[in-house]
A and B are shown apart, each in its own frame.
Chain A
């Protein structure tokens, strides 16, 4: 599945982001981030489908809650940072 991973510095921020997007009708679950993406060690991520990416970025920008790092996960499983 192609999706975007919004990296969050803590579980609390991931929960907050997940709820914010969910309240705007954007499905966004949270989970532990892959070890390689947690740039300072352990981190969490919010997953957003490719279809909802633009809307999610718009909502997070409006809420001043944009994370520092966003990765695109390709169908093959690789990660490409799209924003930092």
Chain B
């Protein structure tokens, strides 16, 4: 067991403590076992995930990405000891710090740091897996941007995976921080400047998520995975206009409307009929034909 530990957070899969480690204070992330899982499976999964997280943390530090320093990995107790970063979480900065809420210069400066940090993470083929503003911090001592919580991270060089990472961050940004589109554009700008292979990622982002992103932008505030085609909603005129602008210019600066669009039930009927590649009419003659 961890000595002199103070529990600071309990998630679905792990408990986060602070505890002294040698001469310093450390964050101790302890993955606990799940009662519903078979013990063998549980042990193996937990061990795999602890390893993966530690590996990603280490790789980040080695490549110059500011992430918590890895102190010690205890595979027996499934715990990772890492640096206790003193600083502020980006989400709190954007929600409570008036300097950041009002000052565009401050926002751009922060966005630049985020873009560069993400570019570095993706450059070494690490996919964070849970990029939200709660998992980004500003270090108190030197105002450097720290990426934290690599619990869902893995290594992949596919542009698709990196695009998903950016998409998740965009969703997190727009749903928790209203009027942050400009900031996100700034993030992508700096990401592009820093990361050489960014074109593949950004084109994937536009091509795979273009449709979803419009809908998301239009109806953000709703959490979760939204796999709607834009056409599924009968949008009111304003919103339709906004999404047309968005789709034509692919610009993030256009006005985004919050709140759900007006949906009308009979519209989905139409889409079902148009949107499917196979349509069955109850045609008795046709059905007979395929009989033996």
A, B: real partners: no
